[in-house]
Structures are given as structure tokens and as C-alpha cells.
Structure 1
Amino acid sequence: MCVVKLLYLTNRHLFYENHALFIILVARSDPRTVAYFSFHTTAKTKFYMKKIISTLTVFLSLVMLSFTNQGTNLDEVIGALKDGKASELGKYMDENVEISLPDKSNSYSKAQAVLVLKDFFDNNEVKSFEVKHKGDQNGGQYCVGTLQTKSGNYRTTVFMKTKTGKDYVKAIRFQSVE
């Protein structure tokens, strides 16, 4: 913010320097009014402006990058399903997780859920996981796909909920596809 003392001048120019920015005040014949402002930039001003613009560009890029990284937990969960790794899935689970298998369905603690999924993957060796659909709903993310195993195919649904800025797995459902 510039602070400029207005001098009562008639038809004269006042040159005032404030941080490499020259402001020319031109007074009209009425000494109480200032007619217009004219701004002149110097090399030093241009240097500072470039520095400010480049700093803002870097800052905004980092902010945008942080927003794009928020949805990667679902991609990590999908990768763990493709590999059949229960311990990897456990990294993204909430404290209580609902797991629905073809023969049983229950709510488990994080540690129990990892053991149940490990047992499921040991009995059903994973070949691949194909994502059919994924999206956002009710403050979280979900994914629907087909888990192909040596013993059969399963329609798999993963529900994630956002909690304290992070997405956690709240439910995983495996339904036999005939």
C-alpha cells in the first residue's frame, strides 16, 4: 500500500518513489483534487513481479497436486486386490470393517479383517481384478469390479469413507458370479 502526501500544487508534477514504483501525481488547477495516477515500472519492479508470479505459480501447482493425490487410496486398494495382498489392504482399512464373503458376513476389527481376507485369498488364488465402475458417494469413494480367482469369479465392491482427510476402507463385499 502506498502512502503519498498530497501537496497543493497547481499544474506541477510530483515524483514520489516507493519501492521501485514511481507514481506521478498530476494536480489540476483545483488544488484539492488529484486528476489521475500514472504508473511507471522499472527493471527492479519487473524483477519483483516475475518473482511474485513464479512463486504464486509454484504454490498453486503444489496446492493442485495435493488435491490430485487425495484419491489415490482407492487406486492402492485396487492394486492390493489385483495382487491378492490382505496385508496391503489392511493399510487402508478403518478400525472396524464389514467383510461379506459368499459363506459368511460380519463386522471385524482391522486385524481380524486382514486375517479373514488373507484366508480368503489363500483359498482363492487371485488371477486378476477388473474394475467395472468407481466413483464418489456420500463423502467417500466406491469401486465395483470382478475378482478372478482360480476357484471362480467374484463381484467385488469396496466402500471407502473419508475420515480426517484420508480415505479408509469401511466395507468389502465378495459375491460369487455364476
Structure 2
Amino acid sequence: MKLKRLPLLALLLILPAVLKADAIEKIAELFKQGNAQEIARFFAPSVDVSLMDNAAIYSKAQAAIILDKFFKENKPHAVKMLHRISSNPNYNFGVLVLSTDKGKFRVAYTLKEVGKNMELIELRIESEKT
């Protein structure tokens, strides 16, 4: 009788990890769309942003403006997920290649669990080296 409930218990234990890992995929899809405002919803109050050769810590609003400017200058066409780490329940990491009208870029981002939400704490965008 107890074995019938085992799959339900397993699902309840795995579900939080799956929902957190979905943030990696969701952000990748938002990069493909070039949607800076939706990506900004994931930003922590301060975000470590490295865009090409400029690196600094910005407020959530400043980081959103920088990302929006990047998307206006580089219209996204496609995204390819290269790497993802979601084994740590407190930190997730994703690396993707963003194809734009002006070339390819390597995008790396780190998410940290704050409360029950995953917040983007670090974003790095650099030219893809071929």
C-alpha cells in the first residue's frame, strides 16, 4: 500500500529542483527573444555585469538599461545552450551562444536562490571566439 505513494513522494521531492532549473531555460529563451525587461525580473538588487570589456556592479535598473541597449545594437536570432549547472540547490549557472545580426556572443549567467526565487547575480557577455 505504501509503495503506491512512492512516485508521488519522489515527485514532490524533485519538483523544487526542477522549477529552479527552469530559470536557466527561461532566461535562455528570453535572450533569444531579446527581452531585456523580462530578463530584468530575474535580476538581484545589484548585478555584476561584464559586457565586452566593461565590467562593473550595477543596480537592477541600470543593468536592465545596459542589457536593453545591447539588444538594440544586436538583434538576437538564435540561442544554443552550451552548459548548465543546476546540481547545487542554491546556485545555478548557464552558458549559451547567442547568435545576433552582428555576430555570435557567449553569455554566462549565475543565479542564486534568495527566499524561494532564483535571482540573477552575475551576467557576462563577450564575443564568441571561433
- The answer, yes or no, to whether TM exceeds 0.5 is yes
Matched with 1:83 is 33
Counterpart of 2:30 in 1: which secondary structure?
helix
Asked if residue 105 in structure 1 is aligned to residue 44 in structure 2, the reply is no
Q: Which runs of 5+ in 1 are unaligned?
A: 1-48
Change (3 A) 1:71 1:59: same
Whole-Å Cα distance in 2 between the matches of residues 125 and 78 of structure 1?
A: 15
Tell me the CA shift for residue 126 of structure 1: 0.7
Matched with 1:3 is none
Whole-Å Cα distance in 1 between the matches of residues 87 and 105 of structure 2?
A: 23
Q: Which moved more, 1:118-127 or 1:161-170?
A: 161-170
- List structure 1 runs of 4+ shifted beyond 3 angstroms: 56-59, 136-139
Whole-Å Cα distance in 2 between the matches of residues 137 and 161 of structure 1?
A: 12
Code of the residue aligned with 2:9 in structure 1: it is L
Aligned pair partner of 1:148 in 76, 79, 99: 99
Tell me the CA shift for residue 164 of structure 1: 1.4
Matched with 2:73 is 123
TM-score (norm 1): 0.63
Give the share of equivalent positions with the same residue, in percent.
24
Q: How many residue pairs are counted as aligned between the two chains?
A: 127
TM-score (norm 2): 0.83
Aligned pair partner of 2:110 in 159, 164, 175: 159
Q: Which moved more, 1:101-110 or 1:130-139?
A: 130-139
Matched with 1:135 is 85
Residue 24 of structure 2 contacts residue 84 of structure 2 at CA under 8 Å; is this kept in 1?
A: no
Which entry has the higher C-alpha Rg, 1 or 2? 1
Root mean square deviation of aligned Cα? 2.3
Matched with 1:46 is none
CA offset digits 1:46-70 (Å, max 9, x no partner)? xxx7xx887x569636624632323
Tell me the CA shift for residue 88 of structure 1: 1.0
CA offset digits 1:91-118 (Å, max 9, x no partner)? 1111101111114221111111111100
Matched with 1:170 is 121
Greater helix fraction, Structure 1 or Structure 2: 2
Tell me the CA shift for residue 153 of structure 1: 1.0
Code of the residue aligned with 1:175 in structure 2: it is E
